Amino acid sequence: MKKIMLISLAVLPMLFGSCEKEETNFESNNSEATVEQTQTSTNEDLEVEDFIYNGLNEIYLYKSEVPTLADDYFSSEDQKFSYLDNFSSPQELFNTLTYNEDRFSFLADDYESLEDRFNGVSGSTGIKYGLGRIDGTNNVFGYLQYILPGTSAEKAGLSRGTIFTEVNGQKLSLNNYESLLDANPMTINIGKIENGKIQMTEQTVTLTDDPYTSNPVYISKVLEVEGKKIGYLMYNSFIRDFDDELNTAFGDLKAQGISELVLDLRYNGGGSVNSAVDLASMITGQYEGEVFMKERWNDKYQQHFESTDPEKLINRFDSRIRTGETINSLKLSKVYILTTSATASASELVINGLAPYIDVVQIGETTTGKFQASVTLYDSPDYTKNNINENHTYALQPLVFKSLNSQGKTDYINGLNPVIKYIENLGDMGTLGDPDEPMLQMALNVILGRAQAKQDESAYKNAQKFKPIDQGEMNEPDFQRMYIDEIPPILNRNQ
């Protein structure tokens, strides 16, 4: 698990130019020239900090909430550089300049790694897991949610529901779990939760963090139950390079004549806004051209778009994916969506965007509560990769707009609440895609009009005793992110 510097969201471009080096007369004893030379040298040493400040000042969604980002805050460039020189690291500056309620903007120190993650390419041990704390202690454990095919975890025979409490022989705790889970390779011990207790075995498994490209379409199948054809699709990330695989899955479901769809987003932390629009259009199809989502940027960009290109602020149900391929739409009037507290950003966008048009039956837990989108800013005159500064590999991923559905619903900071509550029982997680898997069974009961069994009390007892604290991907740059692919034209480019 590769560590990334996490911070609050912010996005687009920075102001052009971080002070060109001025010619200095080295033969002169003029003290003014010496001061000028020293200032230039300092400015060059602060080019990363200058990039961070300018990018956030330009397009950060919460610019108005950070007084230091005001356009008139500094009276001169020298004063600005004097301020930037006060920070021990680029990360410290970024933390200072982001809104204290922004949980999602971040600074990346390696944009190539960031791009790989957005494209579904990364290292992987093959285990996707949540993390919990044993109530009344500082002890941490991991519980496997699913296993990626073709990885060291699959080859080791690991399965959903497996528990581990140690990495490389060291017990996980609140103080060390982040560093221990970065190990490569890592050896974990094996156990399970049984009768409300963690039962460990003597078995251990060694996992390697190998290069891996993850297809987010994890399961797509048709369940024939009581004379109905019900589609089940587990989709784990909105990765733009896999829109065609998603569309193919919908084409297969459509060809098999499904009448209902259960969309499993329980571990989907988000991703591309365009992919979210496409997914919503695949579920429906009868609303092409209607408003799916509206954008609200910072004041400067919002006013600019409203006056010059108001359509830029609208995302509409569409008929083609980004490759130009026609969308395979199901034209459903109802969809069943499975969620947990790990369901975030683009997943929530789909739920919120569909709600004004069709019946969205959300089953599971309340979602994360992320309604803002970000974009990648590079250190260049227009924040794209054109003419990029090759002296460093930092990139900004700031929040740039918040999303509203066609009825104006936004700011669901506490998440989206389910219609039917269900909490995953760590002692009985079941097999994903199996009609008897507890959360899927809840959806099937609604579809088929069957009596809904009361959730086993052991699930709530386990949830209290083994409190979830995080996800295994919490340090990945695409964790719980919703992003757009392109930076809009920068308004301050010619200033």
Place of tokens 């550089």: 81
As a three-state string, the secondary structure of the chain is CCCCCECCCCCCCCCCCCCCCCCCCCCCCCHHHHHHHHHHHHHHHCHHHHHHHHHHHHHCCCHHHCHHHCCCCCCCHHHHHHHHCCCCCHHHHHHHHCCCCCCCCEEECCHHHHHHHHCCEEEECCEEEEEEEECCCCEEEEEEEEECCCCHHHHCCCCCCCEECEECCEECECCCHHHHCCCCCEEEEEEEEECCEEEEEEEEEEECCEEEECCCEEEEEEEEECCEEEEEEEECCECHHHHHHHHHHHHHHHHCCCCEEEEECCCCCCEEHHHHHHHHHHHCCCCCCCEEEEEECCHHHHHHHHHHCHHHHEEECCCECCCCCECCCCCCCEEEEEECCCCCCHHHHHHHHHCCCCEEEEEECCCCCCCEEECCEECCCCCCCCCCCCCCCCEEECEEEEEECCCCCCCCCCCCCCCEECCCCCCCCCCCCCCCCHHHHHHHHHHHCCCCCCCCHHHHHHHHHEEEEEECCCCCCCCCCEECCCCCCCCCCCC
The reported pLDDT for the residue numbered 464 is 60
Same domain, 183 and 241: no
Question: Among the three residues 212, 237, 268, which one is the final residue of a domain in this structure?
Answer: 212
Place of tokens 């069974």: 441
Whether residue 19 is contained in a domain is answered as no
The reported pLDDT for the residue numbered 392 is 96
Same domain, 202 and 264: no
Same domain, 205 and 331: no
Q: What is the CATH number of the domain that holds 125?
A: 2.30.42.10
Same domain, 185 and 245: no
Whether residue 492 is contained in a domain is answered as no
What's this model's pTM, rounded to 2 decimal places?
0.87
Whether residue 34 is contained in a domain is answered as no
8 Å CB contact between 289 and 317: yes
The reported pLDDT for the residue numbered 118 is 72
Distance in angstroms (rounded) separating the CA atoms of residues 454 and 425? 13
Same domain, 425 and 285: yes
Cross-strand bridge partners of residue 172: none
Classify each residue of 30-64 as buried b or exposed e, where b means 16 or more C-beta atoms within 10 Å of its C-beta. eeebeebbebbeebeebbbbbbbbbbbbbbbbbbe
Distance in angstroms (rounded) separating the CA atoms of residues 471 and 176? 15
Whether residue 195 is contained in a domain is answered as yes
Same domain, 296 and 365: yes
The reported pLDDT for the residue numbered 192 is 94
Distance in angstroms (rounded) separating the CA atoms of residues 48 and 81? 11
Same domain, 274 and 293: yes
Whether residue 158 is contained in a domain is answered as yes
Whether residue 240 is contained in a domain is answered as yes
Closest CA to 163 of 123, 195, 199, 187: 199
Same domain, 228 and 184: no
Same domain, 144 and 273: no
Pairing, β 291-296 against β 271-272: unpaired
Q: Residue 457: how many CA atoms within 13 Å on its side-chain side?
A: 0
Tally the residues of the chain: 495
Cross-strand bridge partners of residue 232: 221, 262
Distance in angstroms (rounded) separating the CA atoms of residues 411 and 180? 35
Same domain, 413 and 275: yes
Pairing, β 260-264 against β 228-235: parallel
**Residue 269 sits in which domain range?**
214-372+401-454
Same domain, 266 and 341: yes
Whether residue 299 is contained in a domain is answered as yes
Whether residue 354 is contained in a domain is answered as yes
The reported pLDDT for the residue numbered 22 is 32
Alpha-carbon distances, residue 396 vs 94, 309, 371 (angstroms): 9, 25, 19
The reported pLDDT for the residue numbered 324 is 95
Q: What is the CATH number of the domain that holds 447?
A: 3.90.226.10
The number of domains in the chain is 2
List per-residue pLDDT tens for the chain, 495 residues long: 333 333 332 333 332 233 333 333 333 344 444 444 444 445 778 999 999 999 999 999 999 999 999 999 999 999 999 999 999 999 999 999 999 999 899 999 998 888 876 775 656 789 999 999 988 899 999 999 999 999 999 999 999 999 999 999 999 999 999 899 988 899 999 999 988 889 999 999 999 988 888 899 999 999 999 999 999 999 999 998 999 999 999 999 999 999 999 999 999 999 999 999 999 999 999 999 999 999 999 999 999 999 999 999 999 999 999 999 999 999 999 999 999 999 999 999 999 999 999 999 999 999 999 999 999 999 999 999 999 999 999 999 999 999 999 999 999 999 999 999 999 988 899 999 999 999 999 999 999 999 887 766 766 666 666 666 666 554 454 455 688 888 999 986 544
Same domain, 225 and 362: yes
